């Protein structure tokens, strides 16, 4: 036995002893399951009927509570500008075709259009000869009727016509991650939440990354934009004074281990299933991955004795079982889930062989050369 061969043999023995210490990007399946059970962490096999699939999807946002708002289209509100005209026949308070105001007696009609009235916060205007008239909350026709009643007994045959220009009281405010933040006027069409978002130019972010916050009279409701449909109950009719805020909040999961792509994967819709997440990670790395060891690490909120607690749970999927593919289609991923693709047990053996080749090849070459 030559000295070079003895050195090669010693190198192999040292390599065998250090096999357990080989570098690795991920644990094997047994290295996940063993410590988890020792720490009393539940490891649940994913099947088509796994409770944490579709039926037990965690609600990320509180329930929507704000209902449809009362439409104020066509109703006079504080801040509106009124235009009032009075038509009279016979004795005229406001002037006739043949005399100054207050002195006319004529069979001819007269008309007086008053300078614009801005409705104060009190909602009450002071109209000549009629006194103080509460008009906030009335339609123009109803407001004209009140003024007419105030003029009875003072004018012979008064008829009043009222119209108004909507003020800021007929608007809502929208801001945040929206193309055109600011006040949006509400019309008689009765704009809904999605209408106002569209009128403001839409969200700057993807709908799946956008959270809508609606505040009304101190009450707050929150929903993701991509979850609100045209016929959804959260697409409420807005009312003046509502505040809509759009914020960018990206939901994502993290993929680690022996997947082809180790990355953070963002949700591009309201739901992301396990099979979709695997596909976006490029699938499993054939040279490294254990197809029986696809793990999902999750913090579950559970109620125990009336108290909500958070507990870690590990879900395991086997892609060698055909039922696993059906289970993956139903299993809903949640925000902040961690997907780990375990290394195959043979991966360390492969690394060991490669290391032995690297160590032994120069020595064998040296032995051959020395024997020449």
DSSP string, 37-74: HHTT-EEEE--TT-TTTGGGPPP-SPPP---PPPP-TT
Question: What integer best gives the mean pLDDT of the chain?
Answer: 84
pLDDT of residue 35 exceeding 80, the answer is yes
pTM of the full structure: 0.70
pLDDT of residue 197 exceeding 60, the answer is yes
Q: Which residue has the higher pLDDT, 232 or 53?
A: 232
d(CA 159, CA 151): 9
The confidence score (pLDDT) of residue 286 equals 86
3-class DSSP assignment, residue 132: strand
Please tell me the CATH code under which domain 81-165 is placed.
3.30.1950
Question: Given the structure tokens 């299933």, which residue do they identify?
Answer: 273
Q: Which residues pair with 87 in a beta bridge?
A: 111, 159
The answer to whether 238 and 72 are in contact (CB under 8 A) is no
Q: How far is CA 181 from CA 116, 158, 210, 239, 244, in A?
A: 30, 46, 15, 17, 10
The confidence score (pLDDT) of residue 59 equals 53
The confidence score (pLDDT) of residue 99 equals 44
Reply yes or no on domain 169-248 having CATH 3.20.20.150.
no
Superfamily of structural domain 26-60+252-359: Outer membrane lipoprotein wza domain like (3.10.560.10)
The confidence score (pLDDT) of residue 110 equals 84
Q: How far is CA 1 from CA 10, 105, 121, in A?
A: 13, 141, 106
Average pLDDT rounded to a whole number, residues 259-276: 91
What confidence category does residue 97 fall into, taking pLDDT thresholds of 50, 70 and 90? very low
Nearest CA to 214 out of 58, 59, 61, 60 is that of: 61
pLDDT of residue 100 exceeding 50, the answer is no
d(CA 19, CA 34): 20
Question: CATH 3.10.560.10 occupies which residues in the chain?
Answer: 26-60+252-359, 169-248
The order of strands in the sheet holding 338-343 is 42-45, 307-317, 289-304, 338-343, 252-257, 263-266
- Tens digit of each residue's pLDDT (9 = 90 or more) over 347-363: 555 554 555 555 555 54
Question: Given the structure tokens 């002195």, which residue do they identify?
Answer: 103
Q: How far is CA 154 from CA 111, 115, 128, 212, in A?
A: 16, 21, 11, 55
Q: Which residue has the higher pLDDT, 300 or 91?
A: 300
Provide the 8-state DSSP code for 180: S
Question: CATH 3.30.1950 occupies which residues in the chain?
Answer: 81-165
């Amino acid at each position: 036995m030559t000295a070079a061969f003895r050195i090669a043999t010693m190198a192999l023995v040292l390599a065998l002893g250090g096999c357990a210490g080989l570098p690795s990007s991920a644990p094997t399946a047994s290295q996940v399951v063993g410590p988890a059970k020792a720490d009393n962490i539940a490891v649940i096999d994913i099947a088509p009927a796994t409770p944490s699939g579709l039926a037990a999807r965690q609600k990320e946002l509180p329930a929507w509570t704000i209902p449809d708002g009362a439409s104020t289209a066509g109703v006079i509100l504080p801040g509106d500008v009124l235009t009032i005209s009075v038509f009279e026949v016979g004795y005229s308070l406001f002037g006739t075709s043949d005399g100054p105001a207050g002195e006319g007696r004529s069979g001819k009609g007269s008309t007086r259009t008053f300078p614009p009235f801005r409705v104060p916060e009190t909602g009450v205007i002071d109209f000549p000869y009629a006194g103080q008239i509460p008009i906030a909350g009335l339609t123009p026709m109803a407001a004209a009727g009140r003024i007419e009643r105030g003029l009875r007994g003072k004018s012979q045959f008064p008829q009043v016509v009222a119209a108004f220009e909507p003020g800021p009281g007929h608007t809502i405010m929208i801001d945040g991650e929206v193309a055109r933040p600011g006040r949006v006027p509400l019309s008689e069409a009765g704009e809904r939440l999605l209408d106002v978002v569209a009128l403001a130019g839409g969200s700057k972010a993807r709908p799946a990354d956008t959270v809508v916050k609606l505040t009304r009279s101190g009450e707050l409701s929150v929903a993701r934009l991509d979850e609100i449909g045209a016929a959804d109950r959260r697409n409420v009719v807005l009312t003046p004074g509502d505040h809509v805020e759009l914020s960018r909040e990206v939901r994502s999961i993290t993929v680690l281990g022996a997947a082809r792509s180790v990355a953070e994967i963002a949700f591009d819709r309201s739901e992301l299933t396990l099979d979709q997440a695997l596909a976006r990670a490029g699938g499993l790395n054939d040279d490294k991955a254990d197809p029986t060891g696809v793990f999902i690490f999750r913090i579950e909120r559970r109620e125990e004795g009336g108290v909500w607690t958070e507990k870690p749970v590990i879900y395991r999927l086997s892609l060698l079982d055909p039922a696993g593919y059906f289970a993956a289609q139903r299993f809903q991923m949640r925000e902040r889930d961690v997907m780990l693709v375990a290394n195959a047990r043979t991966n360390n053996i492969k690394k060991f062989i490669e290391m032995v080749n690297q160590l032994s090849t120069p020595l064998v070459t040296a032995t051959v050369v020395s024997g020449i």
